[in-house]
Structure 1
């Protein structure tokens, strides 16, 4: 009883320890939210009914790689089409700032031919080669065919192209020649001095006597440059007038005593002047050529001259580029249009020969009609001779056409008339 009373007392009850209540059960774990860029965890596997072990989980997909700064992301893979056709080509990639876009691929042609060449780049260098000289000569659309037809009828052959030409000895040598410029070998010089004791003394006298004149010519040659051939010939005459008093054998020896004398330029000046004088003389001869009867003798003379200049001009044309560089090295721009003037003058002479042949043919035909009746025995030999002469004239015109590389309107008309006349004569034989 005493114990129960003690327990019920409020004072004592506060001093007695009372055990705490049990803690509440923990709440269920919350689902974890996947962080940015992470892969969510796979759901828990459900237990199988038959107690078999569950299959292993599939491997996680690879993490996407973040593109670097400034790089271009790869294009997505093409989606397969339903009908099995090939997917369309990917879109072109945009070029980066400051880069040059790649050229588009060439489009294949249907007939298998090669694609055309791409256009030249903007700002590409233009053709800086020398301009072709202007000329009134042009290629003929009828000359080659007329020649082949008439040659077959006159000579019984169908050989095409021009008749092979022979090369003259002057053509093989060329126009410039093979001079050694007055130079002698050491042995010849010593032998000459030994034979003539006054030779060396004469050189010394010339050096002292013509020193002022030679120094004047030296400065003029050094500073000389021109594009005008008239000025070139005039200056060449001036130089030779100052050097003509020097003996031929010792001129080189005398000039060599003056230091820095432009000997090579003097030789080039003389070569250019001599070459132009020779070519200009050909033009002059052709312009004043007398085209007069009898035609047979005229053709013989002009063909002989033509064979000579043809070989020389063709030999010069083969070395023209090399000669031009040599002249330009010494400030001399040679006028190569002189070759065009030679060809044009040769065409003029050929045309005059055709005119004379046609005039002579008309006069002879008129004379035969007045004296003899057509079909007589004396008419046929006359026509045979004139037809052969007409063919010889046409053949010469064709050779000139091949040499000149063309003909003008006058020659075009005359070759047509001459060919018609030859065919008319052949039909009446």
Structure 2
């Protein structure tokens, strides 16, 4: 082989060895990850096993303590303090001897065959009767019960094996323990929360009764006074742990009136903020015409939805407000609702001014001019119908739009 062929062969072998080395390194890395995962799992199982051991030990200890107490009571009730005297008196022995049955007489053949024995028996005195039988076991009393430590040791060993087998068969044991721990914590927290509510009911009774009188006797001449009162009431009730949970223990709490006051104050505040936003609206000339017109349309949509929602429920709302002495005139067209309708002309003016400016530039095609003009006229008509007409300033802006449209020979 030439030198070039040898170098080529060595190069191929080197590349093959390098590729194999990369594969082995990759496998080694995977094995390390697997080892780390197994170590983590082993640590988790050990912790779970220790926890189960402690729980079982506590249960066994409680069980042993309970049995010790019951055994002491049982021993005091059953076992006498002194051992019974097993010896019997003489009269009792004689009575038992008399009760021993007399043996039957021997047959005649036996008497003739054993004459010698008869002489011996006749010549000798009668022997004493046999001793009485041993007293039955019931007279000895029950045997004392003693604990066998081997039973407890065997129980512990078996339960320990069962716990290990359960851990092997249930890899989600740690998750179950964690779930149980979370459930216990939730119950404890809930118990703490209920205790805090009970404490508020007991300690804040006088304070809540004061608020009951204030809310029940509250009467207002203007809706702004309702806002101030509701803000004060919310500040007072915020000192309770949970407003609803505490107040439900006071049957005299005027819940419906308090809710009506809050509803009126919140609705008025939201509508007032929207009316201020519309009245102070200004177009941004740096913004693209498409985005600017969409922003004005979105603002008008919000305004119309809010007014429509108030008008739809106005009859029932006003009746409820009157019953609770809450001002309701602001929901009429002569109040805040009328102001909101008039404020929409501000948006209409800005919209038509922007359309007029774009039409005056003459940079768009005729079709774009027509579409833009149509949008301006539609929006003007929409606000005109919503507000019930235009004021002098808005009418002047509309006339300028109409002049540009006529100058460009467009049709309205």
What is the TM-score with the length of structure 2 in the denominator? 0.49
- TM-score, with normalisation over the residues of structure 1? 0.47
Q: Whose helix proportion is higher, 1 or 2?
A: 2
